[in-house]
A and B are shown apart, each in its own frame.
Chain A
């Protein structure tokens, strides 16, 4: 009965590979997000979708592409992975203008 679930939790991959992180929420929220937490624990928003439409797209390399097949899912696809992409990626969801609930995170290590 996890509210925001994301898979995989840990991912180790080589430079140049393409990988995806999946996210699902069962809270019935309209808005979903991807946040990135760097090695210094700093959190920064990457994308936000509302009812499957992109509403926030911060300065993120176009190698990162979010996909929302329905309002309960927001997946993150990353092409041509680079060493600097190593981070923790958090999926989150919220109702409009209210508390954001986070998943447990996906630890991505690029080697």
Chain B
């Protein structure tokens, strides 16, 4: 069975500072890893994904994530946080092959303080 852990329910960071939202995963085979963002009363918006290739993946709105196979992690990062980045962030994993099911972490509420 595949699973995702987001160890922090809440992350607070000052505007302009770098931010990191942590994610670790467990899956059989090669992982397909995703980050989504959810603003209040909205759907999930795709930010970025790792399928294969370069371990550092760049996505929307200046976000990036680093795949670390040995630590089974896929932390989301941004060099300089904006107040508008405040939202709920979800990490998700799906196994390779025919498995299409996307398993989500419990979400991390990011608050960027002005």
A residues lining the B interface (CB < 8 Å): 4, 31, 33, 40-45, 48, 50, 55-56, 90, 94, 96-97, 99-105, 107
**Cα–Cα distance between A96 and B36 once the two chains are bound (Å):** 19
Indicate whether B53 reaches chain A with its CB closer than 8 angstroms: no
Interface centre among B44, B90, B107 (most CB of A within 10 A): B44
| Residues of A close to B83: CB separation below 8 A | none
Report the count of interface residues on B (CB-CB < 8 A).
24
Least CB distance, B9 to chain A, in whole angstroms: 10
| Residues of A close to B46: CB separation below 8 A | 99-101
- The binding surface of chain B is classed by DSSP as strand
| Residues of B close to A41: CB separation below 8 A | 38, 88, 106-107
| Residues of A close to B63: CB separation below 8 A | none
**Cα–Cα distance between A50 and B94 once the two chains are bound (Å):** 16
Least CB distance, B76 to chain A, in whole angstroms: 16
| Residues of B close to A45: CB separation below 8 A | 101-103
Q: How many contacts A-B (CB < 8 Å)?
A: 53
Q: Which residue of B lies closest to A96 (CB)?
A: B100
Q: Which residue of A lies closest to B104 (CB)?
A: A43
Q: A41-B88, A43-B90 are in contact. Are A103 and B101 (CB under 8 A)?
A: no
**Cα–Cα distance between A31 and B100 once the two chains are bound (Å):** 9
| Residues of A close to B100: CB separation below 8 A | 31, 48, 50, 55-56, 94, 96-97
Least CB distance, A98 to chain B, in whole angstroms: 8
| Residues of B close to A100: CB separation below 8 A | 34, 46, 102
Q: Which residue of A lies closest to B36 (CB)?
A: A102
Within 19-47 of B, Cβ neighbours of A (below 8 Å) are at 32, 34, 36, 38, 41-46
Within 51-110 of B, Cβ neighbours of A (below 8 Å) are at 88, 90, 94, 96-98, 100-104, 106-107
| Residues of B close to A48: CB separation below 8 A | 100-101
| Residues of A close to B107: CB separation below 8 A | 41-43
Least CB distance, A73 to chain B, in whole angstroms: 18
Q: A41-B107, A45-B101, A50-B100 are in contact. Are A102 and B32 (CB under 8 A)?
A: no
12 contacts between A and B (CB under 8 A): A33-B102, A41-B107, A42-B106, A42-B107, A43-B44, A45-B101, A56-B100, A96-B100, A97-B100, A102-B45, A105-B41, A107-B41
